[in-house]
Every structure is written in C-alpha cells, then in structure tokens.
C-alpha cells in the first residue's frame, strides 16, 4: 500500500503564523523610525560642529573677528533672525555665512538639516551672546534630542 507523505494545511498555517510573529518581533526590536531619527540626529551633530568650526577658523584667520552677519541674541533658535542661509540661497532675513564658503576656504557649502531646511534656510541657527560666545543649534532634532554647541 502506498501512502503519500506531505504537510497538512494546518501545519503550514502554523509555520506561517510563527514566522509572522517572529518577523513582527524583529521589526519592533529594530524600530526603523527610531533608527532613522538617530541617524538624522547624528548628521545634525556633525553639521552643527562643522558650522561652528568654520566660523571659528574664520575668526582665527581674521584677528578674532567672527563673520559680521552673526547677530547677538539671547537664544540660538530665534527663527526670525538667526537661521543660517543656504549656500547660493536668497539670504534676506537670514544669517549670511557666505564668507565661509568663499573659495571653499572653510567649508565647500553650508550644511543643511536632513528634514528641517526651507527654501533658503538651512534649518540650523547661529547666534552669539553678549560675551562673544557662539552657539549653533538644530531645533528640528528628533526624539526629544537637543542639539546645540556653544564655544
């Protein structure tokens, strides 16, 4: 007598259900939205540091004088006055740091926020306090992060 061997429909459904549950657990553990947010925040930290380093390198080369477009302000992220202008953008009402990109001496171009930049603004803000300390910040940071560097 010949018996055929194979899987029953119930066995196949149980295996598929178990795989779906495991896949769901792995996706939740990886959490792609958090990973992407962390990646964008890491880029923001690098960009903020790059802008601040370029401004200070400019001041070293110019007898301690910072770019004149950096305004004195109590806070870094005042949208109306402190947002940095994109390289090649229309800088009306924005902080023009084109002196940093002239001849690509300090930076090739001003970095832009991964998702928080506008038509002409980079999404990064810069200000100096009354003591001359400069702060560069990224107010569009995700997951409750505060990204701001002061020197």
pLDDT bin (cut points 50, 70, 90) of residue 75 is confident
145 to each of 115, 142, 148, how far by Cα in Å?
15, 6, 10
pLDDT at 79: 63
pLDDT at 30: 85
- The model's pLDDT over 3-40, given as tens digits with 9 standing for 90+, comes to 778 889 999 999 999 999 999 888 888 888 999 999 99
Residue 96: both structure tokens together: 């023009």
- Considering only 14-23, 63-72, 74-83, 104-113, which range has the smallest mean pLDDT? 74-83
20 to each of 12, 31, 87, 104, how far by Cα in Å?
12, 16, 48, 52
Sheet with 134-138: strands ordered across: 83-85, 121-128, 134-138, 147-150
pLDDT at 4: 75
Residue 145 CB neighbour total at 10 angstroms: 15
For residue 74, pLDDT beyond 80: no
Task: List, in sequence order, every residue forming a beta bridge with 91; answer none if it has no partner.
Answer: none
pLDDT at 39: 95
117 to each of 16, 20, 26, 49, how far by Cα in Å?
44, 39, 33, 17
* Domain range summary for the chain, segments of one domain joined by +: 9-150
pLDDT at 7: 87
Burial call 60-91: b when 16+ CB within 10 Å, e when fewer: eeeeeebbeebeebeebbeeeebbbbbbebeb
More confident residue, 110 or 2: 110
1 to each of 6, 11, 103, how far by Cα in Å?
16, 25, 88
């Amino acid at each position: 007598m010949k018996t055929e061997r194979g899987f029953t429909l119930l066995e196949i459904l149980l295996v598929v259900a178990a795989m779906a549950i495991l896949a769901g657990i792995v996706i939740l553990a990886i959490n792609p939205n958090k990973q992407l947010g962390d990646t964008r925040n890491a880029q923001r930290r690098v960009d903020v540091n790059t802008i601040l380093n370029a401004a200070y390198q400019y001041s070293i080369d110019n007898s301690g004088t910072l770019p004149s477009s950096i305004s004195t302000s109590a806070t870094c992220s005042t949208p109306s006055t402190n947002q940095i202008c994109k390289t090649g953008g229309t800088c009306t009402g924005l902080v023009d740091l084109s002196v940093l990109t002239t001849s690509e001496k300090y930076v090739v171009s001003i970095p832009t926020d991964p998702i928080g930049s506008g038509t002409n603004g980079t999404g990064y803000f810069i200000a100096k306090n009354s003591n001359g300390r400069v702060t560069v910040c990224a107010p569009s940071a995700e997951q409750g992060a505060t990204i701001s560097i002061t020197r």
